Amino acid sequence: MSSRITSTLDPFSPDFRADPYAAYDQLRALGPVVWLEQHGIWCVHHYDTCMKVLSNYEVYSNAGGGGIKNYFHEEPWRPPSIILEVDPPDHTRTRTVMNRVLGPRILRELREGFEAVAGTMVDEARALGDVDGVDALSRRFPLKVFPDSVGLAEDGRDKLLVYGAMVFGAFGPEGDWYRSFMAENADVPAWIMDRCQRANLSPDGIGEMIYAAADDGQVTPEEALMLVRTFLSAGVDTTVDSIGLALKLLAEHPEQYARLRADPGLARNAFDEATRFDSSSQSLFRTTLCDTELAGQAIGKHEKVMVFIGSAGRDGAHFDDPDTFDITRRIKGQMGYGVGPHGCVGQMFARLEGEVLLRAVAERVDRLELTGPAEFRLNPGLRGLSRLPMALH
Ligand code: OVM
């Protein structure tokens, strides 16, 4: 243990969050497994070690919690997720239900409606000319099409982002921001659970489909409620932030936007490249179930490992020219959605949202111009924008 590589970097600090990619370069140069002494956790940040950890659920468990908090020693803030925070074989049953409901048949049915919404929103934004890209597009679009698809009622949808901030904030250490945010919004978790009730979902949404799976005995009704909660926990902020970062990248790289404008069929790959280059999800956590060894480093039982998938996407040992944003890149082995048994179950849904929105922009807007500095959200959790001042020409 005396030979372990340590770092004083704090992934939750404002400095790190302002430029995680410089920090990842430092971490990758230090070695494959680094001890983050500020938090008493391990981290991995190369493509191959991230892959090893995320693939080996028998050693690197999700039952210790999806965030930095160690459920083997500490109480979770809410009843744990029955898909994220559980290992196979229990995980396999809930995952199967979610997989089916988020599968290609449903997505094919949703596409046309998404295209209509995206077209209208981009037309409206273009008519304004100068907009906040977050307000006008990257927050507005997912916040409409995703809850509609789940079958959620219209009112109070702004609470979805509050809940998302709680969920992803809880993945980090409990700081002042988190404690006061939780106190200010103490009513929101109960509101969310109420909206997840079967009676409060429309009969044609994917929320109801989860309850239909309970009618078939694939899960219990209580589990169905928890799986609908997963939609509202993991499905909103993630896409809002990823689409916002993608728009920012396209505005910052006019030559890339020109290629997309010339061939809107590149929209899906452009969104995937944005996710590799700058994903809303920068890190995941696992907790060891036993003593183990990783890339020559001994790791004890019940220790936390932070997996920097955002760094894996910039690992030159896996991606050529990793710091170049190239919407025509052939992306082999996307890790921005995680990988392995817990790889994002909604990733095809997210890709559909991203593709449809970017395509709607590319079909309608000649040129994107940044009219002021993009602002990142300060609160921990996901990486995302609070503001993206831009002109649509
Ligand atoms: C859940 C959940 C919440 C946040 C993230 C996530 C990355 C899942 O409630 O199941 O997956």
Residue located nearest, by CA, to atom 1 of ligand 1: 230
Residue located nearest, by CA, to atom 7 of ligand 1: 234
Answer yes or no: is pLDDT of 25 > 80: yes
pLDDT at 2: 56
Map out the domains of the chain as residue ranges.
6-392
Give, in order, the Cα–Cα distances in Å from 203 to each of 151, 207, 211: 7, 8, 10
Burial annotation 166-195 (CB, 10 A radius, 16+ → b, else e): bbbbbbbbeeeebeebbeeeeebbeebbeb
Ligand 1 centre to CA of 344 (Å) is 9
Ligand 1 centre to CA of 390 (Å) is 31
Answer yes or no: is pLDDT of 1 > 60: no
Nearest ligand 1 atom to the CA of 82 is 10
pLDDT at 308: 98
What's the pLDDT tens digit per position in 261-307? Answer: 999 999 999 999 999 999 999 999 999 999 999 999 999 999 999 99
Pocket of ligand 1 (CB under 6 A): 66, 81, 83-84, 167, 229-230, 233-234
What's the pLDDT tens digit per position in 43-55? Answer: 999 999 999 999 9
What's the pLDDT tens digit per position in 309-367? Answer: 999 999 999 999 999 999 999 999 999 999 999 999 999 999 999 999 999 999 999 99
Residue located nearest, by CA, to atom 9 of ligand 1: 230
CATH number of this structure's domain 6-392, picked from the four choices 1.10.630.10, 3.40.47.10, 1.20.1420.30, 3.40.50.1010: 1.10.630.10
Nearest ligand 1 atom to the CA of 281 is 7
State how far the Cα of 312 lies from the Cα of 274, in Å rounded to an integer: 14
Nearest ligand 1 atom to the CA of 229 is 9
Are 289 and 61 spatial neighbours (Cβ–Cβ below 8 Å)?
Answer: yes
Nearest ligand 1 atom to the CA of 171 is 4
Residue located nearest, by CA, to atom 5 of ligand 1: 234
pLDDT at 383: 97
Residue located nearest, by CA, to atom 10 of ligand 1: 230
What's the pLDDT tens digit per position in 53-68? Answer: 999 999 999 999 999 9
Q: What is the pTM of this model?
A: 0.98
CA 282 from chain centre, in angstroms, equals 8
For the chain, how big is the Rg over CA atoms in Å?
A: 20
Nearest ligand 1 atom to the CA of 83 is 10
Ligand 1 centre to CA of 66 (Å) is 8
Pairing of strands 292-294, 297-299: antiparallel
Ligand 1 centre to CA of 391 (Å) is 34
What's the pLDDT tens digit per position in 201-241? Answer: 999 999 999 999 999 999 999 999 999 999 999 999 999 99
Answer yes or no: is pLDDT of 17 > 90: yes
Ligand 1 centre to CA of 84 (Å) is 5
Answer yes or no: is pLDDT of 378 > 80: no
pLDDT-derived band at 3 (thresholds 50, 70, 90) equals: confident
Answer yes or no: is pLDDT of 172 > 80: yes
Ligand 1 centre to CA of 226 (Å) is 11
Burial annotation 101-117 (CB, 10 A radius, 16+ → b, else e): bbeeebeeebeeebbeb
Cα four-point dihedral sign 50, 91, 62, 288: negative
What's the pLDDT tens digit per position in 56-106? Answer: 999 999 999 999 999 999 999 999 999 999 999 999 999 999 999 999 999
Q: What is the mean pLDDT of residues 379-392?
A: 93
Ligand 1 centre to CA of 81 (Å) is 7
- Most informative mutation of 68, 77, 81, 225 for ligand 1 (most atoms within 8 A of CB): 81
Ligand 1 centre to CA of 230 (Å) is 6
Pairing of strands 389-392, 385-387: unpaired
